[in-house]
Amino acid sequence: MELHTFWFALIAVLWIGYFVLEGFDFGVGALMSTLSDDDTDRRVVINTIGPVWDGNEVWLITAGGATFAAFPEWYATLFSGFYLPLLAILVALIVRGVAFEYRGKVDSVAWRRRWDLAIFWSSVVPAVLWGVAFANIVRGVPLDADNEWAGSIVDLLSPYALLGGAVTLSLFLLHGAVFLSLKTDGPVRHRARALAARLAPATVVLAAGFLLWTHSLTGNAASAVVAVLAALCLVAATLLVRTRREGWAFTATFLTIGLAVASLFVALFPDVLPSTTGVGTLTVDNASSTPYTLKVMTWVAVFGTPVVVAYQSWTYWVFRKRIGRVHIGGPATPVAALVPHQTGPQRVGDDAAGVT
């Protein structure tokens, strides 16, 4: 395998890792208020992702950095053409991180409601825009003979791209609902399981339509096979949710998202950004860095990637237990955090420096 092909495959793996992990984060954030009766329930929901959400975003940073280093032409053209959607995603991710940290800083209902609203929109916006962006990457965008962006923001809003946004949002909502049914106990768990059962049929319809449309555009047989596997996993998730097998249902939604993203990259190869104008298509060959650069990057990846994967796996193992209302203490305010005589281990949500 040539190095530029290897790096295309590795970037695909990084995006798969990002979507399957950050996907349930987005779903949890978007569903928080829907699945909660009061602030204690909302704190239960937030604390399911409190120890892991920022670590999940490392996959995005790594994917972006790897694209910049391995395929600079792809990176430059992509960010020039997708500037506004990517900026909106970046702002949403910043707001989301601030909201997680700040909602418990003041003991005020109105304060928390504002940050809860920020969490909702900063979860929904990236969930939709990532689908729009990847649908456009697969379908192709207007490029000129110099591989430069030759379109406008309107070109990114085709019916196919908007369907892609609807699919990622629905998949992430289902993924998040199943994750909450697996990670919580009590009322939140029951509501999440019931909502997942209602979301699953609509998600199947949207995903099936998008995958069929993708195959009609690309005609890639290998991609179609991977897409069929993704569809089967999604159907299995639907059945497993209804039979209350939450662990297997989460595995199925995990595989659904992973295989769906893999099918898009398989459909894209050997292009990295097709052109709809007939000229300027970027491929793994003409968009890649020099062989020496790719060689150095490969050695770094060989030693660095297992460390990152091992550390994040350990984090998930440490925080693997369910969370319920019984684990949530009183409101975490700056005053409470400064009480010097508090003894014993803190309960989930009592740490003013973490998610509350």
Read off the pLDDT band of 226 (50, 70, 90): very high
Asked if residue 339 has pLDDT above 80, the reply is: no
- Does residue 201 lie in a domain region? yes
Asked if residue 250 has pLDDT above 50, the reply is: yes
Asked if residue 164 has pLDDT above 60, the reply is: yes
- Does residue 351 lie in a domain region? no
pLDDT of residue 350: 38
- Does residue 236 lie in a domain region? yes
- Does residue 135 lie in a domain region? yes
Q: 120 or 354, which is more confident?
A: 120
pLDDT of residue 334: 42
pLDDT of residue 342: 42
Lowest mean pLDDT across 149-153, 183-187, 201-205: 149-153
What's the Cα-to-Cα distance from 83 to each of 23, 122, 148, 160, rounded to whole Å?
22, 18, 13, 19
Q: What is the pTM of this model?
A: 0.88
Tokens of 339: 């009480």
pLDDT in tens, 53-65: 888 998 999 999 9
Residue-range definition of the domain harbouring residue 64:
3-337
Nearest to 261 by CA among 6, 7, 9, 1: 9
pLDDT of residue 267: 92
Asked if residue 343 has pLDDT above 80, the reply is: no
- Does residue 42 lie in a domain region? yes
Task: Specify the number of domains making up the chain.
Answer: 1
CA-to-CA distance for 288 and 316, rounded, in angstroms? 35
Asked if residue 176 has pLDDT above 80, the reply is: yes
Asked if residue 13 has pLDDT above 50, the reply is: yes
pLDDT of residue 331: 54
Tokens of 18: 């990002």
pLDDT in tens, 76-133: 998 888 999 999 999 999 999 999 999 988 888 999 999 999 999 999 999 999 999 9
Residue 214: phi and psi, rounded to 5, are -60, -45
CA-to-CA distance for 7 and 10, rounded, in angstroms? 5
Read off the pLDDT band of 356 (50, 70, 90): very low
pLDDT of residue 158: 92
Asked if residue 324 has pLDDT above 60, the reply is: yes
- Does residue 162 lie in a domain region? yes
- Does residue 343 lie in a domain region? no
CB-based contacts of 118: which residues, under 8 Å, 6+ apart?
95, 96, 98, 99
Asked if residue 259 has pLDDT above 50, the reply is: yes
Helix (H) or strand (E) holding 265: helix 246-268
pLDDT of residue 129: 96
Residue 271: phi and psi, rounded to 5, are -75, 155
pLDDT in tens, 288-307: 999 999 999 999 988 888 88
Q: Identify residue 196 by its one-letter amino acid code.
A: A
- Does residue 348 lie in a domain region? no
Could you identify the residue written with the tokens 């793996």? 13
Asked if residue 156 has pLDDT above 70, the reply is: yes
Q: Identify residue 98 by its one-letter amino acid code.
A: V
Strands (E) across the chain are located at 271-273, 282-283
Read off the pLDDT band of 148 (50, 70, 90): confident
Residue 272: phi and psi, rounded to 5, are -115, -25
